[in-house]
């Protein structure tokens, strides 16, 4: 027997999986204490796999893999999103199945939502261990509903969850407990990434995502779903403490371009200044952001255009 009191380190990959809009990205950011993955009130915000590393000195490392919400794809972009979500989930050690508790109350009277049954079916195929996070409990009208809800979800056939933790990713409730539950189910082993690393995402990608978040928040209807953002230039000038970026918003149609630009450029200006403020916080530098809108006709339904805009199929 090991005479020392030292616990073995535990480390591994945890996939954040679930329907769109349940709070996966909000949860990852809350766990990391820093915004890496964009989150909005509109479903299908996350389009790529986003990695977030949480290191607990002397305890271990949880590597979160945030994924696009699982939904029925209706165009090529959505197919790539869902395919990539499933293949990213399959590469992890443990799945955290995130559930929107108030939505389950509203749509299934405290039972399991049909859409979550579909998610569970897809997750069962990975044969990975599953932990449930019952999220948004701050929004439950009756906190007493949490227990029956946990029971209902623990009883989903075919997935045998290892446990269920009620949380509020937004308010921070239950997150410490969730972290220890996740760590307790990860394999023993040293950290997988350097202790000071928080993500493997390229700076240009993060910049494009922050711009897309502000665009999604500032627009309505089909516009967020018809838009993609690339950062074509990214010049870091540490001597001047300045980063210069040129971002391009790609839309599917001319009319969408006009809407995004707004009256006398007002909307584009607002998107730009909100994105800039957030980029400056993230990079710790002054940011000079130039934004353009370009019509890339039908990009969301064209495989080759999707690849050019950063939505390639993972192997």
Cα 114 from Cα 84, distance rounded (Å): 22
Q: Which does 219 bind (CB under 5 to 8 A by kind): ligand GTP, Mg ion, none?
A: none
Listed ranges 17-25, 212-220, 250-258, 279-287: which one lies at the site for ligand GTP (CB under 6 A): 17-25
Give the nearest distance from C-beta 41 to ligand GTP in angstroms: 4
Number of residues that bind Mg ion (CB under 5 A): 4
Give the nearest distance from C-beta 20 to Mg ion in angstroms: 7
Q: Map the footprint of ligand GTP across residues 76-105, applying CB under 6 A.
A: none
Task: Name which position in 56, 79, 121, 138 contacts ligand GTP (CB under 6 A).
Answer: 138
Site string for ligand GTP, 24-63 (x = CB under 6 A): xxx------------xxx-xxxx-----------------
Q: CB-wise, 43 or 163, nearer to ligand GTP?
A: 43
Q: CB-wise, 138 or 203, nearer to ligand GTP?
A: 138
Question: How many alpha carbons lie under 13 Å from residue 6 in its C-beta half-sphere?
Answer: 9
Instruction: Tell whether residue 25 is a contact of Mg ion (CB under 5 A).
Output: yes
- Return the number of other C-beta atoms located less than 10 Å from residue 263's C-beta: 7
Give the nearest distance from C-beta 290 to Mg ion in angstroms: 27
Task: Name which position in 29, 40, 44, 46 contacts Mg ion (CB under 5 A).
Answer: 46
Number of residues that bind ligand GTP (CB under 6 A): 23
Q: CB-wise, 52 or 161, nearer to Mg ion?
A: 52
Q: Map the footprint of Mg ion across residues 76-135, applying CB under 5 A.
A: none
- Return the number of other C-beta atoms located less than 10 Å from residue 222's C-beta: 13
Buried b (16+ CB within 10 A) or exposed e, 81-94: bbebbbebbeebbb
Task: Name which position in 14, 15, 17, 23 contacts ligand GTP (CB under 6 A).
Answer: 23
- What tokens does 97 get? 């199945």
What DSSP string runs through 92-128?
Answer: SSEEEEEEEHHHHHHHHTTS--HHHHHHHHHHHTTT-
Q: CB-wise, 115 or 261, nearer to ligand GTP?
A: 115
Cα 93 from Cα 291, distance rounded (Å): 40
Q: Which does 161 bind (CB under 5 to 8 A by kind): Mg ion, ligand GTP, none?
A: none
Give the nearest distance from C-beta 134 to Mg ion in angstroms: 17
Listed ranges 23-31, 53-61, 190-198, 296-304: which one lies at the site for Mg ion (CB under 5 A): 23-31
Distance of CA 95 to the CA centre of its chain: 14
Give the nearest distance from C-beta 213 to ligand GTP in angstroms: 9
**Distance (Å) of CA 35 to CA 2, 19, 141, 198, 245:** 40, 20, 28, 10, 20
**Distance (Å) of CA 108 to CA 112, 149, 153:** 6, 10, 12
Residues 6+ positions from 218 with CB-CB distance below 8 Å: 267, 270, 271, 274
Q: Is the four-CA dihedral 298, 299, 305, 311 of positive or negative sign?
A: negative
Residue pointed to by tokens 């993609």: 228
Using an 8 Å Cβ cutoff, are 52 and 63 in contact?
yes
Q: CB-wise, 28 or 249, nearer to ligand GTP?
A: 28
Binding residues (CB under 6 A) for ligand GTP: these are 20-26, 39-41, 43-46, 68-69, 135-136, 138-139, 168-170
Binding residues (CB under 5 A) for Mg ion: these are 24-25, 45-46
């Amino acid at each position: 027997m090991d005479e020392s009191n030292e616990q073995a380190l535990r480390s591994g990959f945890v996939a954040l999986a679930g329907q769109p809009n349940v709070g996966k990205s909000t949860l990852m950011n809350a766990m990391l204490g820093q915004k890496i993955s964009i989150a909005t009130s509109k479903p299908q915000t996350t389009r790529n796999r986003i990695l977030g590393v949480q290191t607990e000195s002397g305890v271990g490392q949880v590597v979160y893999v945030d994924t696009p919400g699982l939904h029925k794809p209706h165009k090529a972009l959505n197919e790539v999103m869902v395919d990539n979500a499933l293949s990213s989930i399959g590469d992890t050690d443990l799945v955290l199945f995130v559930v929107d508790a108030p939505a389950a109350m509203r749509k299934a009277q405290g039972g399991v939502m049909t859409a979550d049954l579909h998610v569970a079916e897809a997750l069962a195929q990975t044969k990975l261990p599953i932990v449930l996070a019952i999220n948004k409990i701050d929004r439950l009208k009756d906190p007493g509903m949490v227990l029956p809800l946990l029971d209902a979800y623990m009883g989903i056939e075919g997935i045998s969850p290892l446990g269920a933790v009620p949380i509020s990713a937004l308010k921070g409730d239950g997150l410490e407990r969730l972290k220890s539950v996740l760590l307790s189910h990860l394999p023993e082993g040293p950290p997988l990434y350097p202790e000071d690393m928080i993500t493997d995402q390229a700076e240009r990608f993060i910049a494009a995502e922050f711009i897309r978040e502000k665009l999604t928040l500032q627009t309505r209807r089909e516009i967020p779903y018809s838009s993609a953002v690339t950062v074509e230039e990214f010049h870091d000038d540490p001597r001047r403490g300045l980063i210069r970026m040129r971002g391009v918003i790609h839309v599917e149609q001319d009319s969408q371009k006009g809407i995004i630009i707004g009256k006398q450029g007002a909307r584009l200006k607002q998107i730009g200044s909100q994105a800039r403020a957030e980029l400056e916080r993230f990079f710790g530098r002054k940011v000079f952001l130039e934004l353009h809108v370009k019509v890339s006709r039908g990009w969301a339904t064209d495989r080759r255009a999707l690849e050019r805009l950063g939505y390639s199929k993972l192997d």
